[in-house]
Structure 1
Amino acid sequence: MERDLKKLVASMTLEEKAGMCSGADFWNTKSIERLEIPSVMMSDGPHGMRKQEGEADHLGLNESIEAVCFPAACATASSFDVDLIQRMGEILGEECQAEDLSMLLGPAVNIKRSPLCGRNFEYFSEDPYLAGKMAVAYINGVQSWDVGTSIKHFAVNNQEYKRMCVSSEVSERALHEIYLPAFEEAVKESQPKTVMCSYNKINGVFASENEELLTKILREEWGFEGYVVTDWGAINERVKGLKAGVDLEMPSTGDYNDKKIVEAVKNGELDEKVLDRAVERILKVIFSYVDHRHPEAVFDRDKDHEKSVEIETECAVLLENNGVLPLKEEQKIVYIGEFAEKPRYQGGGSSHINSSKVVSALEAAQEKNRNVTYLKGFSSERDEIEAQEVEKAVQAAKEADIAVVFAGLPDAFESESYDRKDMKLPACQNHLIEEVTKVQPNLVVVLHNGSPVETPWAEQTAAILELYLGGQGVGEACDRLLYGQANPSGRLAETFPLRLEDNPSYLSFGGDGKTVDYTEGVYVGYRYYEAKKQPVRWAFGHGLSYTEFKYDNLTVSSEELNDENEIIVEVDVTNIGECAGKEVVQLYVTDKNGTVNRPVKELKGFTKLFLQPRETKKAQMKISARDLSFYSEEIKDWYAPAGTYELLVGHASDDIRVSCEIQFTTKKLLPFHVTGATTIGELLADFRTAAATMELLAPLQQNGENEEEVSEADQQMIQAILEGLPLKSLSIVGVTGEMIEGIIYKLNELC
């Protein structure tokens, strides 16, 4: 159905247009009956619907309809499977159509700067490339049902402490390299219907008033076509926000801010064309849903529950295994820890789902008549050592063939609105695990958590299975994985440091409540640990399987890359084990040109292969100039220096199996203006001035040859002095001021 939205906007009164720019209530947009503009409803996401028909809230406190809780983003990103995430999005899209929901608020793509962020469970990764690919898949899936998504929280929202007012102080380079790429990828590749601006300030400017982000970058550079909606209550000054690019304010503020918009138009403060444009964007998204209803959509909760089990099975990460897993039917197993009976499967806050069904790992084992007994051991909600429970659990572990401790973070430990204080599991859990290790070498620990935890007992355990917050199907998925009905294939989308103090943001995370300095720059997650050679518990991309994989025959379609072409990277992967499994093939790029301040390696490709025993398949990925580039603040654009780059392919960031080098040529050059402060080293490093600089140094070198032979140490010292010598200081070796000016003039001609 074709609609003339400009004509529709022109037929609205000023008051009606202003009214369209705020919600009717907590979840609905306003309607205008005389113009047949309907109200549409939206719902919190991203891993399930939180449709509220009664009293509404934005913190998960009040009841919502019964829905299916899928794995949270901390889990789904660990699948490294874009097809899986798109299928999950399609399921959610159909559910929304069946429940007449026009918008699902998600995905959340903020970077996991610190393990302490209370909302990390809802975010994909510490890596922007992975987060972007996951977001694209999710959005494409949901929007295939003509239901909108709202990618959030734009931008640099990486903590809950004072999130509504704190200013994230971040460099331009880190902003573009780390905190914006996931949004950029999603906008360019999948066009989410809306973008949700965050509460916080970015370098002193509220996100809801940040014209640089909302208009220049989002719309003009990236080509965003939808509307910008505030996070609930994120507006600071309504008219200023409208000018910057915020279209819809949520939730309703009555007509308080609507009147401000009307007044601003009447007194000339606000150009009515700005208001018209915002209303047109909102109407475009509303009618994209209204005109494309799907009467065939069905919300089958039982069917979707089974899908949630299948998805979580693909997401869980086997962190350690000495061969004790998979469990065997004839073994005597004891499950310890209340999470076995009451799993923690979702985070707290606005994404909290009223789940239709939850099956625990204990129930799943009982349904299959497994040889499993259960002891509470510790509470899933409180951090209390119950001596009698511990004693009974330890005795049972001693008598069993294998003990499985179900550990994790209680609901109160991580949630929206506040950050964690440390990375520790409750002391009662660590105590019990340590006691069990003393009597049972075959100890398996199963984790339920939304972000990394310290595991001081890791080296004393036989296996560790990370379930993350796996949705309402987590117990059944856990059973399948423990008993080998499914082969673990998840990989960590974030690094597990040995301890909190190792994290690059440790000294600055949280800030003083007014500002938080992103002092680590681009060195977030594995970028930091690799550069510092800092040992970690488990590296980014890590994950084990019940089989083994071999990498061979790395090839590239060309050994030369330029600004325009792409290179296809291929590698043979063989399952050399005895059971079928999936391997996540990861491609990293390394700059070999001595470029200052670049990470050791960066993820720039991945693919997931299913392989039968002894089967070989070819993994294929692509590399372009952008994948080699860093963001140059000097030219305010992406730049890769010409030269050599190494392509690293492997099982994890710390487990590279094969590599090769390629050559890159570019027509793009960084500006270079020579002054008296320019050093000899800088001139030698730039191909435009290197030859002329060598000529300049030749007389100095000849003078040195006439003197007595100098030691190697002295030569190195002289070389270092020369490289750090600015042109203006050549006077110390007898070059006149007039000559220096002439040299500078000639060198600038070359640039």
Structure 2
Amino acid sequence: MKPWMNKVLSVDERVQRLLDAMTLDDKLAMMHGGTPDAALGIPALKLNDGPGGVTGPEEAAGTQLPAPVALGAAFDQEAAYRYGEIIGKESRERGTSLLLGPTVNIARTPLNGRTFEGYGEDPYLSAATGTAVIRGIQEQGVMACVKHYAANNQEADRFTQNSIIDERTLREIYLPAFEAAVKEGQVASVMASYNKINGAHGAENQPLLTRILKDNWGFEGFVVSDFLATQSTVKSIHAGLDYELTLPFKRYYGEPLKEAVAQGLVPISLIDASAGRVLKEMFRIGLFDRAPGEGMVPAEQLTMREEEALRLAEESIVLLKNEGGLLPIGAQGTIAVIGQAAVHLIASGGGSAHVPSGAKGTPLQAIERRAGKGRKVLYAQGTAPVPTGPSFVYPSPLAFLTVPAEAFENGLAALSYDTPDLSGEPVRAETAANLNINWQFAGVPHPASARWTGTLVPQETAGLFTDFRRVPLMAGRRARHR
């Protein structure tokens, strides 16, 4: 038996014995999602998003829970624990070892696209709710990763904007929920945010990652960067970043970190500390001592958990008394249903937090049934559908395809480049129906650029354009991330 597999030893002893057996490459693999030597018997570290339920493909769908912000409205830690318990159980069944959630950022603007992932604008409520969710997740044998640390509270320029916040405001508004996650929730991991905080990006912010998180709060887990949020190699690891979440073509850890060690810019003690933090949490949560999940949520469990999700939704509803008949609610009249969630089964939001639903019906259908034949129900989408995943994926240059000629009449010819100025040969070509692009999370390398070319055919003519039937269109988009 390998010495680190001896459960009689303390967690720290098991970690140290494993580190002693690992090469530098093995340790670096633990810091960027690589694969250590299989002979070491280290379980695969499988990550999954999941602040509102375990995300994944339709065929492996879990329970679509109410939006986290709705859970916050329940003001109920017991309900929050049950919420996390469902996520934890389904994560374990799916084979997930690190669940990227919960989100405890404070709601500061309604225009923030991630507000639905948190628990509202109150630091105390966010701390109490988030801590209960973490306990529910981790008591099922899955590591939680609280995010996004810190002050990640707006949509505009959220990858680059600088949040300038004094120490008192940080400590009283933006950090209490993270502090509670560490001290009370014993969370395994903390995710560093994209934005700058007082001039330094979250993933290389030494005051936040080391002085406050690890020194002041005594955090013993590991720090993960948000996806593609790492900005440097040497500066990040010295600041306190332990694990880089990224893509192979944009990596600051791995080989660049190995070179930094060879040049004497990063001491091996820092590598041991970061890799050891990851291993310690894996030992603590029990990943070394059990078989991974089967990869699917059992159908019979899914049915029971959907019923629990309904109860959680009911507990989050805030009721208003209709005094004096102010609201036009009665047995007669037309019912207006507005919003994409009425037909798209999106309980919270899209993007990385979207959870597929296995439900057969829609809220609109339920309203129509309840209204009966005697009442008219009108539906309007209201806004464009929330994207549930990337719509413009960047593959390898080998995936270059010839654009069909008809694309210029029907749809748009979409070309992507791995340069910031549309130069060089395109690395991807496809026909796009429209310009509904989820650019940041499409796996596009940065810097990068893309061009969409096509012909718009107006349905009507008027005024000066009476004889102008076909309008050429060319649109370009560049992505620059420093």
- Indicate whether the TM-score tops 0.5: yes
Shift in Å, 1:275: 0.6
Q: Structure 1 81/372 Cα, relative in aligned 2: closer, same or farther at 3 Å?
A: farther
Structure 2 residue identity aligned to 1:16: D
Counterpart-to-counterpart distance in 2, 1:165 and 1:172: 21
Alignment of 1:200-211 (within 5 A): 200-211=195-206
SS in structure 2 at match of 1:50: coil
Query: Hey, what's the Cα distance between the residues in 2 that align with 1:290 and 1:322?
Result: 55
Q: In the alignment, is residue 13 of structure 1 matched against residue 27 of structure 2?
A: no
Report the alpha carbon displacement of residue 324 of structure 1 after superposing the two structures with TM: 5.5
Q: Which has the higher mean CA deviation after the structures are superposed, 341-350 or 292-301?
A: 292-301
Cα RMSD after superposing both structures: 3.1
Question: Within the alignment, does 1:114 sit opposite 2:109 as a pair?
Answer: yes
Contact 1:118 1:415 in 2 (8 A): no
Instruction: Tell me: CA distance 1:130–1:414, structure 2 relative to 1, closer, same or farther (3 Å).
Output: farther
Correspondence 1:443-458 to 2 at 5 A: none
Work out the CA distance in 2 between the residues paired with 1:354 and 1:94.
17
Aligned residue number for residue 151 of structure 1: 146
After TM superposition, give the deviation of residue 252 of structure 1 in Å: 3.9
Alignment map for 1:57-72 (pairs within 5 Å): 65-72=60-67
Q: 1:43: Cα distance to partner?
A: 0.7
Partner of 1:283: 279
Q: How does 1:49-88 map to 2 (within 5 A)?
A: 49-51=54-56, 65-88=60-83
Moved more, 63-72 or 144-153: 63-72
Given the alignment, which residue of 338, 350, 353 partners 1:348?
350
For residues 281-331 of structure 1, what are the alpha-carbon distances to aligned partners after superposition, in whole Å with 9 as ceiling and x for unaligned? 111223324235487995622211111111110111224522659999x94
Runs of 4+ in 1 over 6 A off after TM superposition: 294-297, 325-328, 413-416
- Aligned pair in 2 of structure 1 residues 117, 140: CA closer, same or farther (>3 Å)? same
Report 1 or 2 for greater relative contact order, CA contacts < 8 Å, sequence distance ≥ 6. 2
- Please tell me whether the aligned partners of residues 61 and 357 of structure 2 are also in contact (alpha carbons under 8 angstroms): yes
Secondary structure of 2:82's partner? helix
Structure 1 position 374, deviation (Å):
5.4
Secondary structure in 1 matching 2:351:
coil
Inter-partner Cα distance in structure 1 for 2:40 and 2:19: 10
**Post-superposition shift, 1:90?**
0.8
> Which of residues 226, 233, 237 is equivalent to 1:231?
226
C-alpha contact 2:224 2:243 (8 A) present in aligned 1? yes
Equivalent position to 1:180, from 175, 178, 187 = 175
1:266 aligns with 2:259: no
Q: 1:34 aligns with which of 39, 45, 49?
A: 39
1:210-236 residue CA offsets vs partner (Å, 9 max, x unmatched) = 111111111111121211111011100
* Letter matched to residue 71 of structure 1: P
Shift of 1:113: 1.3
Tell me whether 1:244 sits opposite 2:208 in the alignment.
no
Change (3 A) 1:414 1:362: closer
Q: Which residue identity lines up with residue 304 of structure 1 in the other structure?
A: R
Cα distance in 2 for residues equivalent to 1:162 and 1:216:
27
In 2, the alpha carbon distance for the partners of 1:190 and 1:152 equals: 13
For residues 252 and 216 of structure 1, the distance between their equivalents in structure 2, rounded to whole angstroms, comes to: 29
Letter in 2 for 1:354: P
CA 129–290 in structure 1, closer or farther in 2 if over 3 Å, else same: same
What is the match of residue 309 of structure 2?
Answer: 308
CA contact (8 A) 1:118 1:160 kept: yes
Report the Cα distance in structure 2 between the residues aligned to 1:17 and 1:173, rounded to whole angstroms.
Answer: 38
How far apart are residue 36 of structure 1 and its match? 1.1
One-letter code of the match for 1:337? V
The residue type equivalent to 2:256 in the other structure is K
Structure 1 CA distance, aligned partners of 2:141 and 2:326?
43
Distance change (3 Å), C-alpha of 1:344 and 1:290: closer
Which structure shows the higher strand fraction?
1
Alignment of 1:128-143 (within 5 A): 128-143=123-138
Evaluate the alpha carbon distance shift between residue 354 and residue 151 of structure 1 in structure 2; reply closer, same or farther with a 3 A threshold: same
Residue 253 of structure 2 aligns to which amino acid in structure 1? N
The letter of the residue matching 2:355 is: I
Deviates further, 298-307 or 373-382: 373-382
Distance 1:47 1:244 in 2: 30
Question: If you compute each CA radius of gyration, which structure gives the higher value, 1 or 2?
Answer: 1
For the residue of structure 2 that corresponds to 1:337, the secondary structure is strand
**Per-residue CA shift, 1:309-360, capped at 9, x if unaligned?**
11110111224522659999x9457532255952652212110111111644
Q: Give 1:66 deviation, angstroms.
A: 1.7
The code of the aligned residue for 1:237 comes to S
- Distance in structure 1 (CA, Å) of the matches to 2:342 and 2:155: 30
Shift of residue 162 of structure 1?
1.4
Partners of 1:192 and 1:365 lie apart in 2 by: 41
Alignment of 1:314-463 (within 5 A): 314-319=315-320, 321-322=322-323, 331-332=331-332, 334-337=334-337, 339=339, 342=343, 345-357=347-359, 359-364=361-366, 371=372, 373=374, 375-382=376-383, 411-412=385-386
- Offset at residue 106 of structure 1 (A): 0.7
TM (norm. structure 1) is 0.46
Report if the CA contact (8 A) 2:25-2:36 is conserved.
no
2:214 matched residue in structure 1: 219
Please tell me the residue identity of whatever aligns with 1:74: V
Distance change >3 Å, CA 373–CA 233, structure 1 → 2:
farther
Aligned-pair CA distance for 1:371: 4.4
Equivalents in 2 of 1:122, 1:322: separation in Å? 33
1:118 and 1:414 in contact (8 A); partners too = no
Aligned residues: 374
Q: Structure 1: 5+ residue runs without aligned partners? A: 25-29, 53-62, 383-409, 417-512, 515-751
Change (3 A) 1:363 1:291: same
1:365 Cα deviation after fit: 5.4
Q: Is the 8 A contact 1:186 1:192 kept in 2?
A: yes
Which letter does structure 2 place at the counterpart of 1:15? D
Contact 1:239-1:260 within 8 A present in 2 as well? no
1:193 aligns with 2:203: no
Distance 1:41 1:324, change over 3 A: farther
Write out per-residue CA displacement over residues 174-215 of structure 1, whole angstroms, 9 at most, x where no aligned residue: 111111111011111011111000011111011111111111
3-state SS in 1 of match to 2:179: helix
CA distance in 2, matches of 1:6, 1:158: 39
The percent identity for this pair of structures is 36
Which AA in structure 2 matches 1:258?
A: G
Give a deviation string over 1:561-619, Cα, whole Å, max 9, x none: xxxxxxxxxxxxxxxxxxxxxxxxxxxxxxxxxxxxxxxxxxxxxxxxxxxxxxxxxxx
